[in-house]
A and B are shown apart, each in its own frame.
Chain A
């Protein structure tokens, strides 16, 4: 994702470009008018797995539905492979939709069709003949690991299996772009991971661009190379996933990040946190380290430099977009002297810090 999305000429290898896109829902019935998207500019690079994260109602679904024209923007343009989606007539739009796959939170499989029949549906719709459909569907079922289920009905499958069928169906017309609207939100963590692995594999093996929306940072962390944070219909932060995770700038990003496993503080600490220190209080600080810093024996050096007691409250070592990354929450004396020494140490070692609050 490039930060130069404001410029008039989007990069040539963009799969999707949102160019100053707004979506305004007029008032209807007893609900007032609503601006779901407000001047959104964003570029989705070809071959990337780009995540859009935001809270419920932030406008994620609205944004992704603009890409295949399920929704029309009320302002700005959405370009898919350079084509302005909003300007297409119905027939051209249908052709475009056949080249863009989509998967859904609730799978949206036809209960009346078998696994095979569901994957075959987009091909039937595109007018492919029976024999060719047969030849296309079998390898897809192999790809998602469900070849043995081809005669089963969705009611006989688990959620994870249903989503695999959803993915096979989305890939049937050999799209170059896959849209995912909360595809793992209805699944347990383990199944989520396996579906995300599958998306990653598809991205790597088929060179498919994936645009996924989610409200879970875990999902963004696990698969995306780029991420945009959306809040109240605006993109508030965007960049490479690693950078956004390690240098979150916007409060919404921080809030979403704080939900990650390992970043979460114990409840007792959260309850005790105060915004201002009193005499004798301890500062609670989140340290984020990555790259070379992750290799150093930081903790022992920190204790030595601060010259005072340092408690470790929470910590995690992880990988984001393949790069090692660690997060550590520590507490030490909030007095000027200790804090000063700690801050010097952080600067010398290139650590990113965030003061979360103070405890007695």
Chain B
């Protein structure tokens, strides 16, 4: 493989990491509060707002059930509005972020709903405000599960980021399509796939390790 190609693979890897990191960060920052809201706004819960809960839930479901590739195309005007372009790494970040938000929201919701209701009851009995319960009880107790949720998000994002390559999104997927597929260079395709696998492995084991560190419940003594 030529040094030029290797260089391209290197920069495509950096592009992928960049897209995943930025979309993951922004998507999680928005998705996390939405997830908390979904988990705590049902009837009789901390911030009861069943109607809004229902509406937000519907929007989240709608976004999640839209196939990613269709989402990418469908929001092109919005992407152009934000970034001034519809192709390349920067443009790809927009649909990736949009797809991340509901994904994170549902995972966060599930992680928080897992928490024993008795803990919320105990905190209420201590005179905690709903906000104190969110920060001191829910988020603290869900930390291992949230870590795993964010890990899963990052892994999915790596996959999605490769998909945006198909529509000129930049990064490893883009490289794989243009060289591996269109110019029929199977070795490039192979390297791209290997790099993706390694990325996923790294993210997964880092996340698993961190989650295990946070988990004080299932400790081996």
Spell out A's residues near B (CB within 8 Å): 68, 70, 93-98, 100, 102, 104, 106, 108, 110-113, 121-122, 124-126, 153-156, 173, 179
Contact = CB atoms under 8 A, between A and B. Distances in A.
Given A106-B118, A110-B141, A124-B136, A153 B219 contact: yes
A156 B219 contact: yes
A112 B143 contact: yes
Interface of B: 116, 118-119, 121-129, 132, 136-137, 140-141, 143, 214, 216-219, 221
Contacts of A173: 126-127
24 contacts: A94-B129, A95-B127, A96-B127, A97-B124, A97-B125, A98-B127, A104-B122, A106-B116, A108-B116, A110-B141, A112-B140, A113-B216, A121-B123, A121-B126, A125-B128, A125-B132, A125-B136, A126-B127, A153-B219, A155-B216, A155-B217, A156-B219, A173-B126, A179-B125
Contacts of B217: 111-112, 153, 155
Contact of B128 (A94, A95, A156, A179): A94
- Main secondary structure on A side of the interface with B: mixed
B143 to A, nearest CB: 6
Report the 10 A-B pairs with minimum CB-CB distance, sorted nearest first. Answer: A97-B127, A108-B122, A98-B127, A94-B127, A111-B217, A108-B118, A122-B126, A153-B216, A102-B125, A112-B140
B118 A112 contact: no
Contact of A112 (B121, B124, B216, B218): B216
Which of A68, A102, A106, A110 is the most central at the interface, judged by chain B CB atoms within 10 Å of its CB? A110
A112 B141 contact: yes
A94 B126 CA distance: 8
A94 B136 CA distance: 16
Given A94-B128, A98-B126, A125-B128, A70 B216 contact: no
A123 to B, nearest CB: 9
B169 to A, nearest CB: 39
A179 B124 CA distance: 14
A94 B129 CA distance: 8
Given A108-B119, A125-B132, 19 more contacts: A70-B121, A94-B128, A94-B129, A98-B127, A104-B122, A106-B116, A108-B122, A110-B137, A112-B216, A121-B126, A121-B136, A122-B126, A122-B127, A125-B123, A125-B127, A126-B127, A155-B217, A155-B219, A156-B221
B124 A70 contact: yes
Contacts of B125: 68, 70, 97, 100, 102, 179
Contacts of A100: 125
A104 B118 contact: yes
A212 B24 CA distance: 50
Which of A96, A112, A121 is the most central at the interface, judged by chain B CB atoms within 10 Å of its CB? A112
Contacts of A121: 123, 126, 136
A155 B141 contact: no
Nearest to B124: A70
B126 A125 contact: yes
A168 B216 CA distance: 20
A98 B124 CA distance: 10
Contacts of A102: 122, 125
B139 to A, nearest CB: 9
Contacts of B127: 93-98, 122, 125-126, 173
B42 to A, nearest CB: 13
B124 A110 contact: no
Given A121-B136, A125-B136, A155-B217, A97 B119 contact: no
Nearest to B141: A112
A274 to B, nearest CB: 47
A95 B141 CA distance: 25
Contacts of A106: 116, 118
Contacts of B218: 155
A154 B221 CA distance: 12
A354 B131 CA distance: 57
